């Protein structure tokens, strides 16, 4: 009867200790090691920085060098479940066509909670690092040392992992992902965003966005940074004038990046030169200097401002785009923006009464928060937003029932208030940090020439359907004020002589 060692884990980095341990464990009876590589569909996230293909390559090399007979099985990530052991065993069965049982398999696992799941199914547990005192270096410890720039990681790592990391320059990638101050463990800007509704909203507006920018696009190498699920690039793919161009999408959110790859595989694009990268552009250069003809960004720069260090992060981003743009190339940016004279004090009249007390949202699910916010009248929703917003939003209640507030803060609330489905995520993002004049000054200072087509504008649909029905704006003396601009289109070119 063939006998096995089931070794579940993420296996981003293999260690010398694991080699010694597995030789002893597998050598007893000539067991085959079954490597169940969990989170095999994840990469470029803090929890899973290395792709499955590189992990498998290191495992195969490790096995040859150590004289182990190995089988490698990918196990896709699942939501947290007490049946994790069952899920892993079924994944192994579906790939190998055989069932591992307590009669023929020992489970090697150093994580107590996971080991308990297998033990409850009757498997004998080999504790790997957990069996030793002092506990030897665990793979994740060595990986964190690598990310910290400590060369001592090589002392703990097995030569197979060192070789794969060196050949594919994985050390740079791991350090960039693990040390990223903006992106979370699952490869997104925030854990409170519903990416399904976010992608649906982006899809619905894709044609409008493309119509806004298409005449400014320069053929050649076209990059959409923050491409979502690839909807705008799909429209660019249909343009006859761009049929010889490379279309490249960059997306930091793993959920959206995976949808891009899926759509490409399903034939969404006719252009053979369509590529996608899962990257955070704030983590370092993605493209070589002077290599991109057109960069597109939609609803992205306010996120860089909000999740980064405001102007410092935005300046680094703009500089990175300038650096990768060819002379004569263009950056087209469409986003929300603050109104001109955003510090002006105004009076804001809102439908409904103020909130008597604020509910504690900490124990609520996303759906419960959405229902709670939906039930608040506009005036009460202002208190709710000011409490949840990650930026100061001071206002004062006036005797006439209106609110005294800065114009920029008034528009901040009015343009956020209708996103209950992603309330906490949206409350992390500042829409009105820069006004049009600030944008022109920033781009000019970096070296761009701001095209005359650049302008701020008001989304009249938002005003007509979401703002005007529940709010009125006036000067402090009561004079009615028009609703200000809410968005900006920037067409910035790198001069030919630079």
Model confidence pLDDT, tens digit, residues 265-275: 999 999 989 99
Mean confidence (pLDDT) of the chain? 91
Q: Could you give the 3-state DSSP secondary structure of residue 8?
A: strand
Where is 251: in which H helix or E strand?
Answer: none
Please state the rounded mean pLDDT for residues 6-23: 96
Give the span between the Cα atoms of 162 and 401, in whole angstroms: 67
Rg (alpha carbons) of the chain, rounded to whole number: 27
CB-based contact 406:344 (threshold 8 Å):
yes
CB-based contact 414:468 (threshold 8 Å):
no
- Percentage of the chain surpassing pLDDT 70? 94
Q: What pLDDT, on the 0 to 100 scale, is given for residue 96?
A: 95
The band of 185, judged by pLDDT with boundaries at 50, 70 and 90, is very low
| pLDDT tens digits for range 53-77 | 999 999 999 999 999 999 999 998 8
Q: What backbone phi and psi angles, to 5 degrees, belong to 417?
A: -65, -15
Please state the rounded mean pLDDT for residues 336-352: 97
Residue tagged 């740079």 (tokens): 172
> Where are any strands of DSSP class E within 399-453?
403-406, 449-450
pLDDT at 218 over 80: yes
Where is 23: in which H helix or E strand?
Answer: helix 16-27
For residue 96, the Cα-to-chain-centroid distance in whole angstroms is 34
**Per the structure block, which two tokens stand in for 9?**
């884990």
**Per the structure block, which two tokens stand in for 297?**
């960004």
Q: Could you give the 3-state DSSP secondary structure of residue 387?
A: helix
pTM greater than 0.85? no
pLDDT at 214 over 80: yes
Cβ-Cβ contacts under 8 Å for 133 (sequence gap 6 or more): none
Give the span between the Cα atoms of 16 and 154, in whole angstroms: 10
Of the candidates 57, 75, 336, 89, the one whose C-alpha atom is nearest the C-alpha of residue 205 is 336
| pLDDT tens digits for range 128-166 | 998 888 888 899 999 999 999 999 999 999 999 999 999
Q: What backbone phi and psi angles, to 5 degrees, belong to 157?
A: -70, 145
CB-based contact 425:416 (threshold 8 Å):
no
Give the span between the Cα atoms of 256 and 252, in whole angstroms: 8
Give the span between the Cα atoms of 373 and 407, in whole angstroms: 23
Q: Could you give the 3-state DSSP secondary structure of residue 32?
A: strand
The band of 279, judged by pLDDT with boundaries at 50, 70 and 90, is confident
Please state the rounded mean pLDDT for residues 189-202: 50
pLDDT at 199 over 60: no
Torsion over CA: 36, 38, 41, 46 (sign): negative
The band of 173, judged by pLDDT with boundaries at 50, 70 and 90, is confident
| pLDDT tens digits for range 365-416 | 999 999 999 999 999 999 999 999 999 999 999 999 999 999 999 999 999 9
DSSP for 170-211, please give it: HHHHHHHHHT-SSS-TTSSS-TT--HHHHHHHHHHHHHHHHH
**Per the structure block, which two tokens stand in for 90?**
């079924």
Q: Could you give the 3-state DSSP secondary structure of residue 214?
A: helix
Q: What pLDDT, on the 0 to 100 scale, is given for residue 285?
A: 65
**Per the structure block, which two tokens stand in for 150?**
């400590």
How many other β-carbons are positioned within 10 Å of the β-carbon of residue 113? 9
Residue tagged 């060819």 (tokens): 326
pLDDT at 191 over 60: no
pLDDT at 186 over 50: no
Q: What pLDDT, on the 0 to 100 scale, is given for residue 342?
A: 95
The band of 187, judged by pLDDT with boundaries at 50, 70 and 90, is very low
- Percentage of the chain surpassing pLDDT 90? 80
Q: What pLDDT, on the 0 to 100 scale, is given for residue 200?
A: 60
């Amino acid at each position: 009867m063939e006998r096995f060692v089931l070794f579940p884990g993420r296996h981003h980095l293999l260690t010398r200790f694991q080699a010694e341990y597995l030789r002893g464990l597998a050598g007893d009876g000539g067991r085959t090691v079954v490597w169940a590589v969990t989170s095999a569909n994840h990469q470029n996230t803090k929890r899973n920085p290395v792709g499955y293909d590189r992990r498998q390559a290191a495992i195969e090399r490790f096995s040859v060098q150590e004289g182990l007979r190995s089988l490698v099985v990918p196990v896709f990530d699942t939501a947290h479940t007490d049946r994790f052991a069952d899920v892993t065993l079924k994944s192994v069965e579906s790939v190998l066509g055989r069932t591992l049982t307590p009669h023929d398999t020992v489970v090697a696992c150093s994580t107590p909670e996971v080991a308990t799941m297998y033990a409850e199914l009757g498997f004998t547990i080999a504790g790997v690092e957990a069996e030793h005192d002092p506990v030897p270096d665990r793979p994740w410890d060595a990986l964190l040392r690598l990310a910290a720039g400590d060369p001592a990681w090589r002392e703990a790592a097995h030569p197979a992992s060192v070789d794969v990391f060196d050949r594919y320059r994985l050390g740079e990638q791991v350090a960039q992902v693990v040390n990223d101050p903006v992106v979370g463990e699952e490869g997104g800007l925030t854990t409170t965003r519903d990416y399904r509704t976010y992608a649906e909203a982006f899809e619905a507006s894709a044609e409008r966005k493309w119509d806004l920018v298409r005449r400014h696009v320069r053929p050649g190498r076209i990059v959409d940074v923050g491409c979502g699920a690839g909807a705008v690039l799909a429209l660019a793919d249909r343009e006859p004038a761009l049929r010889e161009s490379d279309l490249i999408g960059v997306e930091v959110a793993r959920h959206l990046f995976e949808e891009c790859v899926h759509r490409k595989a399903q034939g969404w694009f006719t252009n053979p030169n369509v590529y996608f990268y899962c990257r955070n552009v704030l983590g370092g250069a993605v493209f070589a200097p002077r290599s991109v003809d057109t960069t597109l960004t939609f609803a992205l720069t306010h996120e860089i401002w909000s999740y980064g260090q405001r102007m410092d992060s935005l300046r680094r981003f703009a500089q990175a785009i300038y650096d990768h743009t060819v002379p004569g190339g263009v950056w087209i940016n469409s986003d929300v923006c603050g109104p001109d004279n955003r510090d002006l004090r105004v009076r804001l009249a809102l439908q409904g009464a103020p909130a008597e007390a604020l509910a504690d949202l900490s124990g609520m699910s996303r759906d419960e928060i959405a229902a709670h916010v939906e039930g608040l009248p506009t005036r009460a929703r202002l208190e709710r937003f000011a409490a949840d917003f990650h930026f100061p939003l001071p206002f004062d209640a006036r005797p006439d029932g209106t609110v005294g507030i800065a114009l920029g803060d008034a528009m901040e609330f009015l343009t956020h208030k209708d996103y209950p489905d992603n309330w906490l995520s949206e409350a992390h993002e500042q829409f009105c940090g820069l006004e049009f004049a600030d944008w022109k000054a920033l781009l000019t200072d970096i070296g761009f020439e701001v095209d005359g087509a650049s302008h701020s504008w008001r989304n009249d649909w938002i005003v007509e359907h979401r703002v005007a029905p529940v709010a009125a704006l006036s000067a402090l003396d009561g004079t009615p004020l028009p609703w200000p601009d809410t968005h900006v289109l920037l067409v910035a070119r790198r001069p030919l002589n630079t």
